[in-house]
Structure 1
């Protein structure tokens, strides 16, 4: 709601684009809440990324799906998008494509890892290959001095009431994950050519 996922996505986009031969597109899913409800919530305007349609997925070689959490799961807007991919699922048009996940939660107990675990079911039913970052990001994943989001499942941040912005380490992790998923995607694409 506060633009935290978009900030991570923009860093991932930079990271992925830093890999030679990789083209990166940034999309957002359609909003499902009425404008008057969003206004009452104090939601800021949406970013300028185009709205993705299910068929747009077919053209991509790999994915990094990012979303805020809602009670330890992806929000209804993202679930509605995946629910609209039935024809693609039926034909298994996403099978074998790599996909990573990243997220933002309102608090430390907001469900970053459960969000990833529940989102993986969408990937599995499509036959996609889940590409977690594991602990490949390095020593910052072991730092216990600072509050930071992210896990072996993917980059993450904490939004709180919107005043806490993604930290430098969280943005670096997102950049790294962009590089990582792009490298894996490129390797898989190259081996199938």
Structure 2
């Protein structure tokens, strides 16, 4: 049996969501748990993917086994009209086999997003990503207001999960509050997974 890990699964088009994923992974690892970064290929109307089998850079593509064996999940996507991006939804739509066997029931999960405009559907995108997690029986973890960055942020950040305002050109870097909230979610998922594992043991 492999060591426990938190799967940080995301789709990123211009790099902002990928950077959030890296910060969440740092938060996971600060709690002494492995973070496994994975992404998903793009989709098109013509074929399943327009990308090579192995990404040219960044995280490897996720498999359903990565999802099945994780101790917890951080799920991230840029906003697409207030919803998660199609490639991430396509991957999740293929997870019905895990739903049938209850593989994800009782595991902690959280969500994160980036958007080009400050009020570009961050919260509705986060909520849209929670829906399949609830159907899988996962335990959704948000961010409590004990995280002071939630009260101080001028960019992204919500109680539903970390968010990032990337700017109209997608190049605005994560600010200190957005970074802090990403790391806080990672740490929260890792510590929650460890506590649940101890109770099961």
Q: Give the alignment's TM-score, normalised by structure 1.
A: 0.87
Higher relative contact order, chain-length normalized (CA < 8 Å, sep 6+): 1
1:154: Cα distance to partner?
0.9
Partner deviation per Cα, 1:38-97 (whole Å, 9 max, x = no partner): 9xxxxxx87420100122211101011111110111000000000010111111111111
1:55 maps to 2:65? yes
Q: Which residue of 2 aligns with 1:141?
A: 150
For the aligned residues, what is the CA RMSD?
1.9
1:10: Cα distance to partner?
0.7
Q: Which residue of 2 aligns with 1:5?
A: 17
Q: Give the alignment's TM-score, normalised by structure 2.
A: 0.84
1:179: Cα distance to partner?
0.9
Q: Which residue of 2 aligns with 1:107?
A: 117
1:130: Cα distance to partner?
0.4
Q: Displaced runs of 4+ in structure 1, greater than 6 A?
A: none
Return the structure number with greater helix share: 1
Give me the whole-angstrom Cα distance separating, in 2, the residues matched to 1:46 and 1:2.
Answer: 14
Q: Which runs of 5+ in 2 are unaligned?
A: 1-12
Matched ranges for 1:66-77 at <5 A: 66-77=76-87
Q: Which residue of 1 aligns with 2:103?
A: 93
Q: Which residue of 1 aligns with 2:127?
A: 117
Asked whether the equivalents of residues 65 and 100 of structure 1 are also in contact (C-alpha less than 8 Å), the reply is: yes
3-state DSSP class of the match of 2:14?
coil
3-state DSSP class of the match of 2:124?
helix
1:147: Cα distance to partner?
2.9
1:167 maps to 2:175? yes
Partner deviation per Cα, 1:159-182 (whole Å, 9 max, x = no partner): 222131211221121112111111
Partner deviation per Cα, 1:1-29 (whole Å, 9 max, x = no partner): 22011111111111110113x11111011
Q: Which residue of 1 aligns with 2:29?
A: 17
